[in-house]
Amino acid sequence: MVGQLVAEPATRREGYLKVGTMPDGTAVRLPAVLINGRHPGKTLYIQAISDGDELNGIAVIHKILRTVMPEQLHGRIIAVPIVNFHAFHAKQAFSPVDNRKMNRCFPGRRDGTSSERIAHRLFHHAVQQADYCLDLHQGGVQPMIDEVRVRVDQKHTLHKACLELARVFGIGHILDQKGPKGQLAQAAPEVGIPTIDPELGGTHGWDAASIEKGVRGVRNVLQYYQFISGTPEIPEQQIVVKKFVPLVSNEGGFVYYRAELSEHLTASQPIADICDVFGNVRESIASPVEGVFWAKPIYPMVASGGTVGKIGTPIGYL
């Protein structure tokens, strides 16, 4: 049960969870889908669009919902395709109502701001029913590799379970770093639910390749944890990094990259040239460490002191 939404065994139900009201009294409702399998089992919670401009996750949920049948399912799936109602309609990451980022608001507050109230109702009426949790994200509209984030400290009692969930998702790159307070991938493990934060690329609109990786990742989880039959496609070896190192420009200008995203970089390897408005190279930027070229800005220009990319380091393997 999610709010008033109930699915009997071997059925699927679609509906809404009321989380607030608009200024004119119109209800603010989050869409929710319950798939209750024919066979007993655990519960998987999946959500998308915690940031209003991160759309790849909703496409992943749509594809999963079209292919998982209640008759084949062991256990339950709770899917919430749109979490940040106000930010989604504004086509931006932050809620225009309280200027909060939803993924800094979990587990929420009953008497908090708009985003905190939505997070509280969602957390207590849906998330806490789960045995595993997937919070689908992307790098906003900034180009970024496909990766999965484990956001609890390595000393956390559920760190090993979260890292295993990340491995099973199987994108190939993992950030194992405690995240900011208020992330679902921190709040859910605090109540005993292994949770990960897949980051499915970064783009305006849809990115077909990242969406397909997300679909495969969710199916890997469903198969590995025996929600559905099948053999998961998990890479034999995946890269794990612990932190990001920024690449900062001393000169302002136009950026011409000499390395590709996901490329394994050596220390001192040239990454980018900064050119002036006449096309003359003013500065060449090299990697300060060995690592993976993880992300870069969407626009190929920078002011002095601006970031032209991020490197994931140190490189480990799982």
pLDDT digits (tens, 9 = 90+) for 25-34: 999 999 999 9
Burial group, residue 181, by CB count within 10 angstroms (0-12, 13-18, 19+): exposed
* Cα 176 versus chain centre, distance: 14
Whether the per-residue pLDDT at 247 is higher than 90: the answer is yes
| Predicted local confidence at residue 65, as pLDDT | 96
Q: What's the rounded Cα separation, in Å, for the pair 53 and 200?
A: 13
pLDDT tens by residue, 262-288? 999 999 999 999 999 999 999 999 999
Length of the chain: 318
pLDDT at 41 exceeding the cut of 90: yes
The answer to whether the CB of 159 falls within 8 A of the CB of 153 is yes
What is the fold of 242-317? OB fold (Dihydrolipoamide Acetyltransferase, E2P) (2.40.50)
Tens-digit pLDDT profile for residues 126-185: 999 999 999 999 999 999 999 999 999 999 999 999 999 999 999 999 999 999 999 999
What pLDDT does residue 1 have? Answer: 73
Q: How far apart are CA 214 and CA 136, in angstroms?
A: 8
What is the tens place of the pLDDT at every residue in 64-84?
A: 999 999 999 999 999 999 999
285/142 Cα distance (integer angstroms): 20
Rounded distance, CA 243 to CA 256, Å? Answer: 25
11-224 folds as Aminopeptidase (3.40.630)
Helix, strand, coil percentages (3-state) for the chain, rounded to 5, are: 25, 30, 45
User: Tokens for 238?
Assistant: 């995946």
Determine the pLDDT at residue 259: 97
Decide: helix, strand or coil at residue 78: strand
Residue ranges of domains in the chain: 11-224, 242-317
- Total-model pTM: 0.95
How many CA atoms lie less than 13 Å away from 268 in the CB half-sphere? 0
Query: Span 201-227, mean pLDDT?
Result: 96
Using CA atoms in the order 65, 71, 72, 74, what is the torsion angle rounded to 10 degrees?
Answer: 90
- In the prediction, which pLDDT does 188 show? 98
Check residue 2 and give its pLDDT: 85
- Assign 3-class secondary structure to 11-65: EEEEEEEEEEECCCCCEEEEEEEEEECCEEEEEEEEECCCCCCCCHHHHHHHHHH
Residue 204 pLDDT: 87
CA-to-CA dists, residue 137 to 50, 79, 214, angstroms: 7, 14, 10
Mean pLDDT of the 248-257 span:
97
* Residues 117/110, Cβ–Cβ less than 8 Å: yes
The token duo for 46 is 């999946």
Name the pLDDT band for 186 (thresholds 50, 70, 90).
very high
The CA–CA distances, whole Å, from 310 to 52, 143, 179, 262 equal 23, 11, 16, 11
CA 53 to chain centre: 12
